[in-house]
Amino acid sequence: MASLKDVKAKISGVKKTRQITKAMNMVAASRLRGSQLAMESFRPYAEKFSEVLGSLAERAGGEAGPLIVPKEEVKKVCLVLCTSDRGLCGGFNSNAIHAAEDFVKQQKAKGVAVSLVCFGKKGRDWARKAKHPIVEARLGIMGTRIPFTTAAKSGQKLIDGFLKGEFDEVHVGYTRFVSMARQTPLMQQLLPIPPIEKKEEEYSAGEYLPEHICEPSAQELLEQLLPKSVFIMLFSALLETSTSEHAARMAAMDNATKACNDMLDELTLTYNKARQAAITKELMDIVGGAEALKG
């Protein structure tokens, strides 16, 4: 049996660990609130935008811009992989990376070269280790308050690359925040822009609504709007990933704290047992000594 001192040292060690995991849990909780708020405040913009884009695309349908038209031959694909910068968040990063690995395998099987743009250190580390070409790595922004300009800048680079023919397709891999308990890694096509789903017309069918007057022309407007829609998709992927990261870390730290508690219970029991055994032994010694003197 471990000595009293050993057990005591272990107890205090576990207590300290519990303190850290508890603190990390609380930090993750408050960050989660922040990023959830950012996600919620972005939603009206994204919704309105898709409304406007939908009504415009419906009419400009035939004359699609170069961002919509799929390339005839897909040889080079760029994957934007969103992961976190830091670990200690359960299976969050490994899930995302597994999904990315599968994606890369699929593409390679088709004879397509894949290059990566990494948001977050974990994804970059993986890409480096697996020796996938990295176009760009952006560290230090995941998990913080992400400004829209970040998405716009990277989005613009991707669009330029797509137009110049550096990539024939751009996909984004991110972790969707489904609920506090569930975050699922997803792959989504960014470029060419997937066909825009037509929204249900808000005005009832009987009501006559004339076509929009556009200034400048619908074509020009669409050309300005389409890059924006790429930025929006990218930005929402970043926001979702950030929120998922915090939720995953919160859950992981909660589990760790619980495990610490269980361990403490066990250790305290061992400690008490050991102490009791020591006392009993001492008593036996004293009694034995007294008996011996009597004799």
Partner 1 sequence: MAGTIQLEVVTPEKLVVSEEATIVMAPGAEGEFGVLPGHTPFLTSLTLGTLRYRDTAGTERCVFINGGFAEALPDRVTVLAQSAERRCDIDINRAKAALERAKKRLEHPEDASVEPDMDFERAKAALARAQARMSLAETRRNVAMQ
Q: Which residues bind partner 1 (CB under 8 A)?
A: 38, 41-42, 44-45, 48-49, 51-52, 55-56, 148, 209-216, 218, 221, 224-225, 232, 235
Cβ-based nearer residue to partner 1, 52 or 141? 52
| CB 23, min distance to partner 1, A | 29
φ and ψ at residue 207, rounded to 5 degrees: -75, 135
CB within 8 Å of 106: residues ≥ 6 apart: none
Alpha-carbon distance of 292 to 295, in angstroms, equals 5
Q: Which residues pair with 115 in a beta bridge?
A: 78
**Which one of the listed residues 89, 118, 214, 260 is annotated catalytic?**
89
- CB-CB contact of 173 with 101 (8 Å): no
The Cβ of residue 286 has, within 10 Å, a number of other Cβ atoms equal to: 10
Give yes or no for a contact between 199 and 54, defined as CB atoms under 8 angstroms apart.
Answer: yes
Residue 231 exposure: Cα atoms within 13 Å on the Cβ side: 20
Q: Work out how close the CB of 94 gets to partner 1 at its nearest, in angstroms, rounded to a whole number.
A: 30
Minimum distance of partner 1 from residue 127's CB (angstroms): 26
158: amino acid identity, one letter: L
Give min distance, CB of 250 to partner 1, in A.
24
Has 118 been annotated as catalytic? no
Q: What is the set of active-site residues?
A: 89
